[in-house]
Amino acid sequence: MRYSTFNQNQVNPLHEPMFFGNPVNVARYDQQKHAIFEKLIEKQISFFWRPEEVDVSRDRVDFQGLTDSEKHIFISNLKYQTLLDSVQGRSPNVAFLPIVSIPELETWIETWSFFETIHSRSYTHILRNLFTDPSEVFEDIVINTEIQKRANDISKYYDDLIFYTQLAQTLGEGEWEIDGVKHVVNLRELKKRLFLCMNSVNALEAIRFYVSFACTFAFAERDLMEGNSKIIRLIARDENLHLVSTQQILNLWQYGKDDPEMQEIAEELRDEARNIFMSAVAQEKEWAHYLFRNGSMIGLNEEMLCQYVEYIANMRMEALGFDAPFEQRSNPLPWMNKYLVSDNVQVAPQEAEITSYLVGQIDSEVSVADLGDFEL
């Protein structure tokens, strides 16, 4: 099952499973097996934005005024998000493109990953504005043990799937010994790895981002770091869409609307899928603990943040048909919602707070008092 960039065999993509069928040949969207992915592409492209459109210059002043514990919270979250988007900017492409079998999903994966690279570039935009030399922040991402712990869990399912796909696509099915370790490669094993990987990506998009979103929006609630918050709002809107795509894939499998073998695997590995979610929740709570180790910030503490993680985890797990594992049924951070509302509502743009009209706008209010000590 060697990969070909243009599969010369005639295949009907309408009869192909989402993954592990024939490689896609013609990128055509006139007929679609799962039309939802093209709708997601359209929606995602309509969200297009550039980090440079958002003015973050006031943030530098705000940042100087933060307490040390608040600076720790802010920078740590940026580091963590940089890690998440570094992984997401490449991994869906590397892991899923060699095995995808329908054109609309292939293009969705590319669109999805591309948007993650916009997010990565926006962290640099934010950090370059805050520090003359942001190297120290970036370099710490690979050394910081708290971040390392998460990086391992986030990347291991991807790495495993990629490695097995590589074995299958070069050596084929069979038992192979690589560096003294035996690997059994067959289609079912590959599909299992794909299933676990998709669950891990889903948990990443569903939960992992939200701890740092909450902190960012808590600053914004106090009118601090607003440029950053505008960027994170745009990122949150994109991530919501990415989450929906992984939920779609997992649900299409488990409701038997795609590959019947994936439905079996979804049933077989249900507990493992649940564990992936639960360990993401546990890690995010640990992360909340790390964030607030030097002190809380106004409007947010470790306990509230952990409650929010539980609240959001319930919601995300129910979307996949799991029972809600936590007691937390009400939203402990109700102000979060106003930052998560998509403002893609068709009213006259100048009348409403539409992000695309507000980005890049700087505060142009000038009062007479501002000119009080002005002399000619």
Chain residues in the site for other proteins (CB under 8 A): 36, 39-40, 43, 237, 240-241, 243-244, 247-248, 251-252, 255, 315, 318-319, 321, 330-331, 334, 337, 340-342, 344-345
Under a CB-based contact definition with an 8 Å cutoff, are residues 237 and 359 in contact? no
In whole angstroms, the minimum distance from the beta carbon of 68 to other proteins comes to: 32
- Comparison of 44 and 129: residue with beta carbon closer to other proteins: 44
In whole angstroms, the minimum distance from the beta carbon of 239 to other proteins comes to: 9
The structure tokens 């790495």 sit at 159
Encoded tokens for 37: 């992915």
C-alpha pair distances (Å), 338 with each of 218, 221, 343, 354: 12, 10, 10, 13
Encoded tokens for 339: 């930052």
The structure tokens 């809600």 sit at 324
In whole angstroms, the minimum distance from the beta carbon of 340 to other proteins comes to: 4
| Separation between Cα atoms, residue 247 and residue 179, nearest integer Å | 36
Sign of the alpha-carbon dihedral angle for 208, 212, 215, 216: negative
- Comparison of 45 and 184: residue with beta carbon closer to other proteins: 45
- Comparison of 162 and 234: residue with beta carbon closer to other proteins: 234
The structure tokens 């930052």 sit at 339
In whole angstroms, the minimum distance from the beta carbon of 274 to other proteins comes to: 16
Residue type, 68: D
C-alpha pair distances (Å), 136 with each of 71, 307, 368: 14, 32, 42
Please give the backbone phi and psi of residue 99, each rounded to the nearest 5 degrees, phi first. Answer: -120, -5
In whole angstroms, the minimum distance from the beta carbon of 248 to other proteins comes to: 5
Q: Give 174-181's long-range contacts (Cβ < 8 A, gap of 24+).
A: none
- 181, β-bridge pairs: 178
In whole angstroms, the minimum distance from the beta carbon of 249 to other proteins comes to: 9
Marked catalytic residue, from 123, 158, 164, 210: 123
- Comparison of 36 and 269: residue with beta carbon closer to other proteins: 36
Provide Rg for the chain, Cα atoms. Answer: 22
- Comparison of 255 and 361: residue with beta carbon closer to other proteins: 255
Q: Beta-carbon neighbour count of residue 325 at 10 Å?
A: 15
| Separation between Cα atoms, residue 17 and residue 27, nearest integer Å | 16
| Separation between Cα atoms, residue 234 and residue 56, nearest integer Å | 14
- Comparison of 90 and 257: residue with beta carbon closer to other proteins: 257
Encoded tokens for 359: 């980005």
Close Cβ partners of 275 (under 8 Å, ≥ 6 residues apart): none
| DSSP characters over 286-312 | HHHHHHTTT--BTTB-HHHHHHHHHHH
In whole angstroms, the minimum distance from the beta carbon of 247 to other proteins comes to: 5
| Separation between Cα atoms, residue 108 and residue 104, nearest integer Å | 6
| Separation between Cα atoms, residue 92 and residue 114, nearest integer Å | 10
Is residue 290 flagged as an active site residue? no
- Comparison of 279 and 344: residue with beta carbon closer to other proteins: 344
- Comparison of 138 and 322: residue with beta carbon closer to other proteins: 322
Active site amino acids:
123
